[in-house]
Structure 1
C-alpha cells in the first residue's frame, strides 16, 4: 500500500506523467528567464555583499536557516527517490539510464518532470547566499560558492533543453549528496556540530569522480552503439564538473590541511 502510494505521487500522478518541457508554455523555461535570473543573482550578490547591511539577530537567522535547510533537505530526498523510481519506470532498456537515443527522446515524462523540479530547486538554493550575507560572515562567500550556484542553474536548463543523456544519474547523486549536506547544515542551526563535517566535502568530491566514471559508459555507448542525445550539453556539464572538482579539492586542501597544521602546533605547545 505504501509503495503504491509513493509510486503514484512520485511517478504516476497525471501532472508528472504528462509533463513536457516546452519553453513556450512551461513556466520559467524561457532563455530570457534563465539569463535574467542568473544576472539578478550575480548582481544582488555583489551589491548586497558590498553594502553596509546589518546582520540579522542570531535567533531570527537560525530560525530562517533551519526552515530553509529543512525545505532543501526534504526536497532533495524527494527528488532523489522520485527520479530513481521514474527512471526505472520510464527507461525502455538499462542503456537508457546512461544514453538517451539522439532525436528519439523528447523532454517529457516523469524523469524530465524531476529534472524540472531540480532546475527550480537551484533557484531556491540562491537563498544560501542571502543567508551568508545576512549573517555578516562574508568570509564564507567564496568564489566557489557563487560560481557553483550560478552555473549549476545553467547546467540544469541545458539538461532539459537538450534532453541531455546521463542527467538522471547526475540528478540522483547530486540530490543524495544535498540530502546529507543540508542535513548537516540543519543540525548546525540547532547548535549541534556533527563530527562528520569533512564527510560532506568528501561526498561532493566523490560525486564528481563518479560522474566521470559513468560518463565513460555514456561515451562508450555513443561511439560504439548509437548517438546519445545532448552530447554538446554533456561537454558543458563535463567542463563544469572538472572546474568544480578542482575548486573543491583546493577548498578541501586549504581548509583541512590548515586545520591539521594548527592541531599539530597546538600539540607541540602542549608538550612545551
Structure 2
C-alpha cells in the first residue's frame, strides 16, 4: 500500500509540476487540478440532485430574455477565440499535420487569448444544463449532454496546463466555430420558436458536430502515426478514442432522431 501511495504522489507531482507548461502554471485555477475538480463535482451535484429537487414543486421559469443574452455572448466569445486562434496560429505559422507546442514571440498571447479563454467558455457552457432544468426540460439532460460538458472542461484545462498551443489547439478552433453556429441557432429560436421546428437547422447542426469530431479523430490520428513530430504523442492516445466515442454517441443520436424516428412535418 505504501508503494502504491508513493507512486501516486510521484505521478501527481510529475503531472502537476514536472511537465506543466511554465507559462501558464501560475494562472488562476491552473496551479492544481482541485479547483477544476470542484467545479465538475458542483456541476454534477447541481444537475442531478439540487436543481431537480428545487424545481420539483415549482413551475418552469421563463428565461427567454436571459437565454437570448447568454447565446449572444457565447457567439461573441467563441468568435473571439476563433479569430485569435487563426490570426496567432493556424493562418500564420501553424502546420496542419504536425505542429509542436508554440514557443514563439506570440505564444503567451496565444495561450491566454485562445486556450485560457476557451477553458472559461467551457465553464460558462455548464449554464446550458442549468437552463434546461430551470425550464423543466429535464429530458434534455442526457448522458451525452452532461458527459460532453464536463469532459470538455477537463480537456480545456489540460490544454492550458500542458500544451497551450500547437497541434492540440485545432480542437479549440474547430469546436469554437461549431459553437458559434450552434448558439446562433439557439439565439434564433429564443426570438422565434418556429425555428425549433426547422429540420434543416436542427439536422445540419448535428451533422456539423459529427463532422467536427470525425475530423478531430483524423487530426489526432495523424499525430499518433507521425514519428518525427515533436508534439507530445500521448495526447493522440487520449484524444483519438475520445473523439471516436463522440462520433459514435452523436451518430447514434442522429440515427435515432432523424433516420429511425422521422420528425413530423410542421
TM-score by length of 1: 0.78
TM-score by length of 2: 0.79
Q: How do 1:152-167 residues align onto structure 2 when only pairs under 5 Å count?
A: 152-163=152-163, 165-167=166-168
Equivalent of residue 23 in structure 2, options 20, 24, 40: 20
Q: Structure 2 unaligned runs (5+)?
A: 1-21
What is residue 109 of structure 2 aligned with on the other side?
110
Equivalent of residue 230 in structure 2, options 221, 224, 227: 227
Distance 1:232 1:190 in 2: 44
Whether the 8 Å CA contact 1:158–1:233 is kept in 2: the answer is no
Change (3 A) 1:49 1:249: farther
What is residue 150 of structure 2 aligned with on the other side?
150
What is residue 243 of structure 1 aligned with on the other side?
245
Higher mean C-alpha displacement, 182-191 vs 194-203:
194-203
What is residue 122 of structure 2 aligned with on the other side?
122
Distance 1:27 1:50 in 2: 31
Distance 2:220 2:151 in 1: 20
What is residue 205 of structure 1 aligned with on the other side?
210
1:127-159 per-position Cα deviation (integer Å, ceiling 9, x unaligned): 001000000011111110000001111011111
What is the CA-CA distance between 1:34 and the residue it aligns to? 1.1
**How many residues of Structure 1 are paired with residues of Structure 2 in the alignment?**
235
Distance 1:119 1:32 in 2: 15
Q: How do 1:162-173 residues align onto structure 2 when only pairs under 5 Å count?
A: 162-163=162-163, 165-173=166-174
Q: Structure 1 unaligned runs (5+)?
A: 1-18, 267-272
What is the CA-CA distance between 1:215 and the residue it aligns to? 2.2
Q: How do 1:123-138 residues align onto structure 2 when only pairs under 5 Å count?
A: 123-138=123-138
What is the CA-CA distance between 1:189 and the residue it aligns to? 0.4
1:99 counterpart SS class: coil
Corresponding position: 1:34 with 2:36 = yes
Q: Give the 4+ runs in structure 1 shifted more than 3 A.
A: 88-91, 97-102, 104-108
Equivalent of residue 46 in structure 2, options 34, 44, 47: 44
RMSD (Å) for aligned C-alpha atoms? 2.6
Change (3 A) 1:258 1:46: same
What is the CA-CA distance between 1:220 and the residue it aligns to? 4.1
Whether the 8 Å CA contact 2:24–2:160 is kept in 1: the answer is yes
What is the CA-CA distance between 1:50 and the residue it aligns to? 3.4
What is residue 181 of structure 2 aligned with on the other side?
180
What is residue 8 of structure 1 aligned with on the other side?
none
Distance 1:105 1:217 in 2: 22
